[in-house]
Amino acid sequence: MGIAENKQLVLDFYAAGARGDMDACFAMLADDITWTNIGTTRFSGTYSGKEALVAQLLGPLFSQLKSGIASKIERLIAEDDVVVAQTNGSAETHDGTPYNNTYCQVIRVRDGKIAEVKEYFDTALVNAVFGDS
């Protein structure tokens, strides 16, 4: 795939998430995806494979939110097999606490699938909203 197709894959991934179509999102991920959240929060670490991603990151995080995280792409930059997405996310916990964070995801595409994500975000906000690790 070329740069334009890689960017479109990332756009499609975020569009599916915005529709709440998690099946479409997971179909765009490589089975052996590696997702790394930087920092020392309870959600930081590296998650290898779709099952680990769901069980160890997405499940625990989304279970604390009323309706997931609404993401808005601010900018996409691509080179070779890497797409960088600057995004803003907004959410609310079940107790009404807002969780509005800014992200930078460095995404590597392989064979038409998202194979690797390294996500940077405001870790102090994560700890303030969800508690320290």
> So what's the pLDDT on residue 113?
98
Name the one residue in this structure whose structure tokens are 């870790």: 123
pLDDT above 80: residue 119: yes
Range of the domain at 39: 3-130
* CA proximity to 105, closest of 131, 71, 132: 71
Mapped onto helix, strand or coil, the DSSP state of residue 1 is: coil
Task: Give the Cα separation of 63 and 98 in Å (integer).
Answer: 15
Mapped onto helix, strand or coil, the DSSP state of residue 72 is: strand
Q: Round the average pLDDT of the chain to a whole number and report it.
A: 95
pLDDT above 90: residue 39: yes
Task: Give the Cα separation of 86 and 55 in Å (integer).
Answer: 25
Which element (helix H / strand E) includes 60?
helix 59-62
- How confident is the model over 17-38, as pLDDT tens digits? 888 898 999 999 999 999 999 9
Which element (helix H / strand E) includes 10?
helix 3-19
What CATH number is associated with residue 55? 3.10.450.50
What average pLDDT does range 58-79 have in this prediction?
A: 94
The pTM (predicted TM-score) of the whole model is 0.93
> So what's the pLDDT on residue 1?
76
Domain count along the chain: 1
Where residue 68 falls among pLDDT bands split at 50, 70, 90?
Answer: confident
Name the one residue in this structure whose structure tokens are 């920092």: 39
pLDDT above 90: residue 9: yes
